[in-house]
Structure 1
């Protein structure tokens, strides 16, 4: 009958080697320390965070914020929750706390959407398209 004795010192050496291998592999992983977000916190409670993808988030002491994305998109959030988004193509979107909004498109089109979902689109030629909350054109 074969009996195997457990050699604790040998087991400890083996587990130590395995741990060293995992630590080494962890250092070589795709997420290096350079890919982590960098955060600067100021004494007044404001902060600047730069994410690995280049996105910059500025949070003010009053909790308003500015997000600047690598593609040029800029999103300003006010303390009341209203927002202004400026896109690289020139589109500007203003969203109010009640979820009403105004969209300004680069071609001059303006779309006003009320909190109930009804909207008015004013085209560059001055023509207006009025819609009810379900999207049905009224004019």
Structure 2
């Protein structure tokens, strides 16, 4: 019987006791475990995988991809994803701007700023209004 290679280790994939995670042999705690980076996690039951790191769901329940492609964990009860974990409330929203053919997430304060066409920048509010630039004078 021949084994399977994982980095420098040999194991038997069919036995189901181990997973090969990024060339690191990791022992499974349950049959449902999955790879997260070079370790295992419980596939979302009590843990999440974010940016190749494992987090307990009581600490963070979601994962946010930043504009640069990196990932950060966040708690969806108190935060939302907008180029990173952003605190909910206080008038902060997310504006998706066009930049070099891509959409880029930018947090903004809707009491002082506007997310509006042509979606190239977050604009300052004028006279507490986001549409005054469209009115005929």
Alignment TM-score, normalising by the size of structure 2: 0.31
Does 1 or 2 have the higher relative contact order (CA < 8 Å, sep 6+)? 2
Alignment TM-score, normalising by the size of structure 1: 0.31
* Bigger helix share: 1
* Bigger strand share: 2
Larger radius of gyration: 1
